[in-house]
Structure 1
Amino acid sequence: MKKIIFTLSLIFLIINAFANSSGKINGKVIDKKTGEELPGANIIIKGTTIGTISDLAGNFSLSNLEPGVYDISCSFISYKTVTIRNVVVKQGEEIFLNLKLLEKDLNLGEITITDKFERKTENSIIAIQKKTASLVNGISAQEMSINGDNNAAASLSKVTGISIDAGKYVYVRGLGDRYSKIELNGAEIPSLDPNRNSVQLDLFPNNIIDNMMVYKTFSPNLPASFTGGYVNIVTKDFPTKFTFQFSTSLGFNPQTNLNSNFITYKGGKLDFLGIDDGTRELPKIAQNGIPYRYQDDQKLDDISKSFNKTMTTTRQTSFFNHSHSFSLGNQVNFLGKPLGFIASLSYNRSYKYYNNGENGHYTLTTLNSPFLQKDLQLNDEKGTMNVLIGGILNLSYRLSKNNKISLNIIHNHCGNKQARYQEGWSLYHEVNFQTRTLQFSERSFSAAQLRGEHTFKSLSN
């Protein structure tokens, strides 16, 4: 027992002697102007690896220091570093330092933050809907890509309250196309059909579209020439950096594609582009008028022989529905100003086919007749090939941060080739009835828009 007490006493004496041989520096770090404690400040002894940080109350402590003269440095984010020189530490003594720091004067250069509002995402459509006072729906390029549609008409059919007639004309809330208005980038565009008010939307491939907004109620910033709905098609703007995109897709319908009995007819060499190569042109001899019978039988015979000899349908294997598109864009410096451009081209070719269709003609024989009399009953078969080619070139030149001019050039071309065969019995004439229809139509749309966007700061206050 005596040995244990002696050992503990010896250890205590050694520790006490060691503690009395070293010194200690305590202190507090505060803001010189406000007196606020600064937690997390770095305190180090210069020329050594000894250091510590201040606690939540700004206090710090440096223990077990050998007697000597030290330089104490204190630093903190956004404050000037303070150094206390020639701090004398004596054996067994404690020193208290009150470190007061001043904030730095930070001189920053001008910072300009610019951003571009993306209009091709679903989030951008939601943001537009939130900020618009009128009732509006829309569809973005992002959603159109997911749906796999190839033209504006097919994409708009997915919007609530919209229906598409004949695959090209828009109906808003059940009202016909003559009650609707369609614009391109806020500018009015004419209809290609003289009997229709609205534009044929199947002429616009999705590859050139950023978004389409459908307004179903009036507002002061919209034209007053619609009662059903207003559709604004917004085309792609130029990118801020080099971009290159290419996409291709194949579609298959077991009734239509790779069908060896697909009904068609022999056309021109450029039918795959939706362009007639002159095969269907009116012969020159017939352009100056056709004589009556017996008036000039020889000329009438020559005119008849000059027409295309293809008068019947043929069978061939149809290909897949397919579409291809690419776009190229960049921004370069021209005369010291940013010049942006984007060029886009798309090609789409699709097929439609049905057989075993029925086409009947009926007559109401008397006013009070309980049934309709069947005059003609035909079996119907039809094959259709549709080609859509679209291109866009968009140039934008920023004169200054508040002024920009843009040139938008669009050309779309659509070709439609149809072959139809109908056969049946005419009860009225009591004869077998046959009809063959060979049809080819071309439609094209070209537009050039020169726009300017200018911000006058003096008028914004």
Structure 2
Amino acid sequence: MAAFFFSGYVAVANAQLANSQGARVAGRIIDGQTGAGLTDAGVQITGTTMGTMSSLDGRYVIGRVPAGTLSITVRRLGYAPKTITGIEIRDGQAVEQNISLQSATVQLTSQVVSASAERGTINEALNRQRTSASIVNAITADQITRSTDSDAAQAVRRVSGVTVQDGKYVFVRGLGERYTTASLNGARIPSPEPEKKVVPLDLFPSALLQSITTSKSFTPDQAGDFSGAQVNIKTREFPAHGMVTYNTTVGFNSLATGKTIVAAPTIGREWLAVAGSERLLPASIRSAGNFSGSNQTQMNQAVNAFRNVWTPVQSNAAPNLSTALSMGGQQKLFGRSIGYIASGSYANTQEIKTDERRSLAVPDGKGSTKEFNRFSGSSSNRSVLLGGLLNVSTLFGTGTRIELNNTYNRTADNEAKLLEGQLDEFLFAARRSALGFIERTVRANQLRIEHAIGSRQQLDVSVTSSGVSRVEPDRSEIEYVREQNPLTGATLPYALFSYNPEGARRTFGDLRETNTSVSTDYRLGFGDAGNESVLKFGGAFRFTDRTAINTSYSILGYGLSRSARQDQ
């Protein structure tokens, strides 16, 4: 019914216009030298307020013109105005009047206009790609804020040729994560992974990002260990005017939210990305070292000192939540304009996987493979991400800019997994449970100086201190099996796989890495202003200190009775 009403209204309006429009004057406004149509030329019936602007290809139409003799005046910037007189109009007649304009030189007084370069916009990204000497793709804050991406790993998926594995590791053009390096504001980020030289990008909240640039080819100003791609994360800079922004996002999934899932037990502070002292390695076990010389009683006491949490619990899946607050602008301080931006973000999300399947592939004796030890089940991961940023900058004179960039991010993943399957080498069923809490942090403090020397030279100096940590307190893994009664052949209830070193295990890991880096870049432009070339050279120094400690305890129970080993 709404569509019918709209169509009827348009028909009536057009009928009324046809009966009262009078004469019309139409034509084209063209360049007198080239014959090209001129858009946005002002066309006016002289002595009246009737007029219009020429549109695409210079065409114009003026309707409801009264009968008589009239004149038309045309004006456009860069052209001499022109008036056509003696045009005779009869009622109801349509008159075509094409008008050519001649270009004219306009003398203007000199003006100086200054503005900050666009930062974090799509135009900036396109210009960077257009002028880069290497293959570069970028995604900016304009695009990130319009999406539902909560961290850099989700945002970088929108770059062509980039895929993300496990929600955190970047693959560029099919190359593994070991071939991709990551930097923050141009300085290399340490790796928080114990066995990989890789930076998980889920550590960086999207609310703190200005752009993500991916370089897919090597240039001499990049680190010497470049092998596949370089991902540079640029944090936000202060706005030109004072601003305060706040946003909150809540996500629901009809297939998961409110449903019963397997989840890791909590101690109450996981929502702050804090492990809590309860998860730390007990002092009595730490002091025992490798238990050399310990008797059975002392070992039993050590086992009982572990937190008695081994298996997942049933819980209801909660909705995802993220929120961010930013404020920035410019303020006078000690007679100098200081630009600043402070931002904080928080995200609490849950990832649920159902019908997971795992198995080993072994030869089947026929030139192919078959499944071995097949397991299936489900898992969940509750992830919390806290991020903070404080950047300030100021100008000294007209050619020197000093920036101080500070970033701190903290994330925690509380994981639970429950799988059931078959141990083919023992011919009985098994159930595996795993619980893990991983706490990661990344910190970066950077002093950056940009100094322009005349109009064609620039010197950039950057000093950066950064650090990461990865703490995995009290990871537990346990396996129960259903053996057969040797006398009756009946299948027995689930019991601890006590004679397997991997039947019950607790793991504690602590990794910390710090970086100190200094870099300088000097650029010299030469050649014509319209076809300028740039000579660039510089140097970089980076010092890294890395410490990793990983301790695992396997618990065997050869002497335990079956009732003691049985799953409660």
TM-score by shorter chain over 0.5: yes
| Cα contact 1:341–1:394 (8 A) shared by 2 | yes
Query: What count of residue pairs does the alignment treat as equivalent?
Result: 353
For residues 193-248 of structure 1, the C-alpha deviation after alignment (integer angstroms, 9 at most, x for no partner) is 24333321111111111111112223344444323222221111112221101011
Structure 2: 5+ residue runs without aligned partners? 1-107, 458-525, 527-568
CA distance in 1, matches of 2:440, 2:402: 30
CA distance in 1, matches of 2:427, 2:222: 59
Who is 1:213 aligned against?
213
Residue of structure 1 in register with 2:335 after alignment: 336
**Aligned counterpart, 2:192:** 192
CA offset at residue 312 of structure 1? 1.8
Change (3 A) 1:194 1:423: closer
2:437 to 431, 435, 440: 440
Q: Which amino acid aligns with 1:378?
A: F
User: Which residue of structure 1 lines up, in the alignment, with residue 51 of structure 2?
Assistant: none
Structure 1 residues 233-382: aligned runs within 5 Å: 233-259=233-259, 261-289=260-288, 295-364=294-363, 368-369=365-366, 372=369, 374-382=371-379
Q: Any conservation in 2 of the 1:257–1:351 contact (CA below 8 Å)?
A: no
Q: Is the 8 A contact 1:139 1:212 kept in 2?
A: yes
Q: Amino acid of the residue matched to residue 313 of structure 2?
A: T
Where 1:287 maps in the other structure, the secondary structure is: helix
Alpha carbons of structure 1 residues 188 and 357: separation in structure 2 relative to 1, 3 Å? closer
Bigger shift: residues 202-211 or 126-135 = 126-135
- Bigger mean CA deviation after superposition, 146-155 or 187-196: 187-196
Please state how far the C-alpha of 1:455 moved relative to its aligned partner.
1.3
8 Å Cα contact 1:380-1:423 kept in structure 2: yes
Quote the Cα distance in structure 1 between the aligned partners of 2:285 and 2:251.
Answer: 42
Match of 2:171 in 1: 171
The letter for the 1-side match of 2:176 is G
1 CA distance for matches of 2:188 and 2:409? 16
Deviation at 1:304, TM superposition (A): 1.6
Residue 391 (structure 1) aligned with residue 388 (structure 2): yes
Contact 1:141 1:210 in 2 (8 A): yes
Counterparts in 2 of 1:78-227, with a 5 A limit?
112-227=112-227
Partners in 1 of 2:368 and 2:134 — Cα distance?
A: 50
Aligned identity (percent) is 28
User: Highest Rg: 1 or 2?
Assistant: 1
Distance 2:131 2:372 in 1: 59
Quote the offset at 1:371 in angstroms: 5.6
* Paired residues of 1:347 and 1:388 also in contact (CA < 8 A): yes
Q: Which amino acid aligns with 2:246?
A: F
Residues 313 and 243 of structure 1, relative CA distance in 2, 3 Å threshold: same
Q: Is the 8 A contact 1:374 1:427 kept in 2?
A: no
> Does structure 2 retain, via aligned residues, the 8 Å contact 1:255–1:353?
no
2:461 is matched with none
Aligned-partner Cα distance in 1 for 2:455–2:379: 64
Equivalent position amino acid for 2:118 in 1: E
CA distance in 2: counterparts of 1:376 and 1:197, whole angstroms: 31
Structure 1 position 294, deviation (Å): 8.6
The code of the aligned residue for 2:179 comes to Y
Task: Say yes or no: does 1:455 pair with 2:465.
Answer: no
Decide which moves more: 206-215 or 175-184: 175-184
1: distance between equivalents of 2:318 and 2:416?
Answer: 16
Q: Separation in 1 of the partners of 2:212 and 2:293?
A: 59
Question: CA, structure 1 residues 400+258, in 2 after alignment: closer, same or farther (shift >3 Å)?
Answer: farther
Aligned to 1:17: none
Query: Greater CA deviation, 204-213 or 220-229?
Result: 220-229
Deviation at 1:334?
Answer: 1.2
Say which SS state the counterpart of residue 288 (structure 1) adopts. helix
**Structure 1 residues 354 and 170: CA distance shift in structure 2, 3 A:** closer
The structure-2 alpha-carbon separation of the partners of 1:248 and 1:115, relative to structure 1 and needing over 3 Å to count, comes to same
8 Å Cα contact 1:137-1:159 kept in structure 2: yes
Q: For residues 360-397 of structure 1, what are the alpha-carbon distances to aligned partners after superposition, in whole Å with 9 as ceiling and x for unaligned?
A: 345326xx435645542323111111111111110112
Structure 1 position 111, deviation (Å): 6.1
Cα separation, partners in 2 of 1:425 and 1:231, compared to 1, 3 Å: closer
Structure 2 CA distance, aligned partners of 1:456 and 1:294?
A: 71
Deviation at 1:359, TM superposition (A): 2.4
Q: What's the secondary structure of 2:275's corresponding residue? A: coil
Cα distance in 2 between the residues matched to 1:444 and 1:413 = 4
Could you give the per-residue CA deviations for residues 257-310 of structure 1, whole angstroms, max 9, x where no partner exists?
222x12113222111122101221111111112575994233222222221112
CA distance, structure 2, for counterparts of residue 458 and residue 425 of structure 1: 73
Deviations 1:128-166 (A, max 9, x none): 222223221111111112221111111111111111122
